[in-house]
Amino acid sequence: MPKVVDHDERRREIAAATWRAIDELGVDGTTMRAIAERAGCTIGRLNHYFDSREDMLVAALRYAHVRAGARMLTAIEGRSSSDALRAVLLEALPLDDERYTEWKVWLTFWAQALNTESLRNEHRQRYLEWHLLVSTLVADAAPSLSKVAVQQAADSLLATVDGLGIHVLMSPAAGAKRQAIRTIDTALATVLG
Amino acid sequence: MPKVVDHDERRREIAAATWRAIDELGVDGTTMRAIAERAGCTIGRLNHYFDSREDMLVAALRYAHVRAGARMLTAIEGRSSSDALRAVLLEALPLDDERYTEWKVWLTFWAQALNTESLRNEHRQRYLEWHLLVSTLVADAAPSLSKVAVQQAADSLLATVDGLGIHVLMSPAAGAKRQAIRTIDTALATVLG
DNA sequence: TCTGTTACGCAACATCTGATACGTAACGTG
DNA sequence: CACGTTACGTATCAGATGTTGCGTAACAGA
């Protein structure tokens, strides 16, 4: 067994570079050359660790997913359920550079998913987890709600977050961000009473 | 002045063909060849009426915009303001094939707009009109609301519609559609009391 | 009918793309 | 110290793409 390298680590590096390329250039501009440039290697290495460009795109999506998931857990830690719910929803919005970039990646993949079944599955997977997290928090924060009402509230909150995210993405002014926070708060007030 | 043809009509035809190509193939797959095929002409004609491919994409976006605008006006006609509000919001969702396709085009352009200033402006324009329409209807339907509350309600409704649209787009099952309608109705109940 | 202009099909081109094939250097193992 | 395997840089290729330029046919106006 010669020349041993951390396979997973390399793949993660490449996924991160792909992620950066998508952020800077859009998915169209994310060519093998662009990724290699950002990963600080040659195309040879990319092809060594991934079978195709599409596999690298999926890896970038998963990478963004893992990042976001970790942030959500941090946001929940040590908060009451209603505080945690608000924190999680706000954490999901593109309010700073990191999350703005993350949203660019999401949006890019949504569009790409329209014509790629594997990406659509990837998205549905993420959405289920995300829905489960929010509905759990809603149930904790408003124990008097029926199961159906909890689901309904979660659906409504998730839709609001996604819509606001897109809006901020297209008009990333400070005003739009403040407005988004206000909208989340009124939505929460409606749900939690 | 020889061989006179309706310039605008030709451009509209090409825009419609571009629209169809985006629907079927995604924006990446929308090549000059693909558009020409759908328009029933050769690439020569495309280049005769548009300076570049990007111009044709913008034209397709405007075409979709015009279509949607016309549908909205039809939906309002002869309804009370609160009925009209509901009709307009539902009309904005991807609940049938035509509107599903339209949403594919929107989503595609949102993603594209992330790296194209001209498309972002195009979107903001559309969003302003759309926001104005909804907030006007809200003001009519709930005259007791303050100006600020009307704006807030409109923001919330628009975000909900956009979020639901994306969700239906990714999971176009009948269940998701019914769920979306229910979410719109609860949002309306909240706003209009 | 003649003429100048417009419409647009056709073919060619330079560019860029993802993928492959090959060569070499690094290194764990015997 | 070989030896065999892995890592990956380099060169190359076939295919696709947007754009350009040329040639021709159609037609309004004189």
CB under 7 Å from any atom of strand D: which residues? A 1-5, 7, 10, 41-45, 47-49; B 1-4, 29-33, 43-44, 47, 51-54
Residue A1: predicted pLDDT: 52
> For B50, phi and psi rounded to 5 degrees?
-135, 145
Q: Express each pLDDT in A128-160 by its tens digit.
A: 999 999 999 999 999 999 999 999 999 999 999
Range scoring the smallest mean pLDDT among A112-121, B52-61, B71-80, B106-115 = A112-121
Chain B interface mutation, best of A53, A134, A166, A168, highest count of B Cβ atoms under 10 Å: A166
Give chain B's count of helices (H) and strands (E). 9, 0
- CA distance to partner chain B, nearest, from residue A14 (Å): 22
What is the separation, in whole angstroms, between the first and last Cα of chain B? 63
> Is the model more confident about B31 or about B121?
B31
Q: Which CATH architecture has domain B58-192?
A: Orthogonal Bundle (1.10)
Q: Which CATH superfamily is domain A59-192 in?
A: Tetracycline Repressor, domain 2 (1.10.357.10)
Q: Express each pLDDT in B43-95 by its tens digit.
A: 999 999 999 999 999 999 999 999 999 999 999 999 999 999 999 999 999 99
Chain D: bases < 7 Å from a protein Cβ: 4-11, 16-22, 25-29
Give the list of residues 6+ apart from residue A175 with CB closer than 8 angstroms, or none.
Answer: none
- Closest-approach nucleotide to residue B1, Cα vs C1': D28
Distance B9 CA to C11 C1' (A): 28
- Report whether pLDDT(B2) > 70: no
Residue pair A119/A62 in contact (Cβ under 8 Å)? The answer is no
Judge: A171–B124 Cβ closer than 8 Å, yes or no.
Answer: yes
Residue B115: predicted pLDDT: 83
Residues of chain A with pLDDT > 90, as a percent, come to 82
Residue A2: predicted pLDDT: 60
Report the C-alpha gap between B39 and B10 in whole angstroms: 10
Range scoring the smallest mean pLDDT among A3-12, A54-63, A90-99, A154-163 = A3-12
- Closest-approach nucleotide to residue A2, Cα vs C1': C28
Tell me what the pLDDT averaged over chain A comes to: 93
Residue pair B177/B95 in contact (Cβ under 8 Å)? The answer is yes
Distances (CA, A) of B73 to A104, A119, B91: 32, 36, 10
Q: Express each pLDDT in B119-130 by its tens digit.
A: 888 889 889 999
The size of chain A, in residues, is: 193
Residues of chain B with pLDDT > 70, as a percent, come to 98
Rounded average pLDDT over A162-188: 95
- Where exactly are the structural domains of chain A? 59-192
- Report whether pLDDT(A126) > 60: yes
Alpha helices in B30-146 (DSSP H): 32-39, 43-49, 53-76, 81-91, 97-113, 117-141
Residue B46: predicted pLDDT: 97
- Report whether pLDDT(B155) > 70: yes
Distance B2 CA to C2 C1' (A): 14
In order, the DSSP letters of A125-182 are: HHHHHHHHHHHHHHHHH-TTS-HHHHHHHHHHHHHHHHHHHHHHHHS--HHHHHHHHH
- Report whether pLDDT(A6) > 70: yes
- Closest-approach nucleotide to residue A48, Cα vs C1': D8
Using CB atoms within 10 Å of the CB of residue B133, give its burial: 0 to 12 exposed, 13 to 18 middle, 19+ buried.
Answer: buried
Report the C-alpha gap between B44 and B24 in whole angstroms: 22
